[in-house]
Amino acid sequence: MTTTIAAIEGLERRLFLTAGPTATFLQYIKGTGSSRTFAILYDGPATIGRATLDDGDVRVFSDQDQNLPATFLGATRHKPGTGLIAQYRVDGLASGTFSIEVQPQQISDTNGGVVQDGVIGSFKIAPNGQASIMNAMTPTIQVLGTTHGTSENPPAIDTSFGNVVRAINFGGDPISVAGNTGVMVPFEGNTGTPGAKRKHPRGARIASPIQITITAGNSNLYQATVGDNPLFETEIFNPTWQDQLMNIDGLDPAKRYQIQFLHGDTRLDQNPYVSTPQFFKISNGQTVTTPLEFGTSEETEDSDTSIVVSGTTSVSYSMPQCPTRGPSFSGVVIEEADFSQPSAPKPTFARGSVRFSGTAQLFDIGYAPIADVPTSALAAQELEVTGPRGFLAIASLIDTRPGKHGLGVVATYRIEGIDLTASYTISLAGQKVATATFFHLRPIIWE
């Protein structure tokens, strides 16, 4: 028997990670002429090593046999999480199709994990110079791990990854639950019988193309209540203990998703789910496993297992029986990361902020306060610095911090290559932000 759940529109990380750091092309290309800039999110189970980022990270290949290096411009922290958003520039481009390829053994995290090499995205430059994104993300699947809690204090639903686009309470009625960021998640209820009317939280609208199907061999699926928690401890189960398979279809291969799978059971002496491998698979055939154990003690009554996928149209989760009980599903939450590059607020030059740092010069740009200025928006901005004798350079974003005196965020940028003390113009998207004096230090010759 098959139970099919329709789609629901929703609202808007975690330890025990088991995979290495990943690279995600942030789906934007900027620039004109023969140069383009782009950004890559490096993220994983541990903090990305900023010192491992340099000009050897990435190369760009064209369909005209070009093999071009990408110059590392700078990086900023990705919030939330342990990642970094790195910006690169590639020069010498003509029209054609170009692939962005991470090089082997280049970027690592503080645990020693290395970002896997390979093509992570591509873009096309038309004969008129217009650039466009060509492909979806590279197919990836990563297990984030499992968190546990009691029936009274279950693991928090993560609402920090992006927008919740699906939330299903398989064994019970509709219910709204606050996520760990305070955002309310409206879980759709399920009747458990084919063709029956599905139940939705008040105000929820069907909008997502994502479809979820649960099967268990040729046997019937039943609903049960296995504790007092109406989200974690209601479930769909198969009485013959056959493996249960959840298929999630209709994902956008150009997007990145976090999927949380909820389980719970307070029958500690009768039906604990002892450590058993869980199997996840995406549409290109990649598979990962992770152990799952819940209901063996009061502290592990409820569990939340999370994975992150990208570049795929589907995910399957095979949950087998264990020696003490059959498989069951209580709920699922699907979050969609928003990697569109929103425009940051109008920048303001912080006067008197020019200062030296080795051979580079630093300056600050302030941004007016808004609810949240995403670092991805700042990294996507291209601050151009122009000056005498045809000087042109892109300033690198190296840090952000909370602002004061009416500024929401202050971003620090670095500029290299100043060879003349003079007035320089700082521009954003062709619009002048400010003029500033940068200094060229000449060596002192003692006679």
Same domain, 147 and 242: yes
Same domain, 185 and 72: no
Same domain, 179 and 225: yes
Same domain, 109 and 174: no
Express each pLDDT in 240-252 by its tens digit: 898 999 999 888 8
Which CATH number goes with the domain that contains 91?
A: 2.60.40.380
Q: Is residue 444 part of a domain?
A: no
Domain boundary among 279, 301, 336: 336
Express each pLDDT in 82-120 by its tens digit: 678 888 999 999 888 888 999 999 998 888 888 878 878
Map tokens 């092309």 to a residue. 25
How many domains is the chain partitioned into structurally? 3
Which CATH number goes with the domain that contains 6?
A: 2.60.120
Express each pLDDT in 155-213 by its tens digit: 999 988 888 999 999 988 899 999 988 889 999 987 544 333 445 444 344 456 788 98
Q: Is residue 379 part of a domain?
A: yes
* The overall pTM is greater than 0.75: no
Express each pLDDT in 257-306 by its tens digit: 999 999 999 998 888 999 999 999 998 788 999 999 999 999 999 999 99
Same domain, 150 and 193: yes
Same domain, 39 and 158: no
Same domain, 272 and 307: yes
* Sequence-separated (6 or more) residues with CB below 8 Å from residue 279: 287, 288, 289, 317, 318, 320
Same domain, 175 and 323: yes
Taking the C-alpha atoms of 78, 79, 80 and 82 in order, what is their torsion angle to the nearest 10 degrees? 40
Q: Is residue 443 part of a domain?
A: no
Q: Is residue 445 part of a domain?
A: no
Same domain, 185 and 320: yes
Same domain, 227 and 118: no
- Average the pLDDT over 401-407 and give the result: 64
Domain that holds residue 355: 347-438
Domain boundary among 336, 359, 377: 336
Same domain, 397 and 268: no
* Sequence-separated (6 or more) residues with CB below 8 Å from residue 249: 210, 211, 212, 213, 313, 314
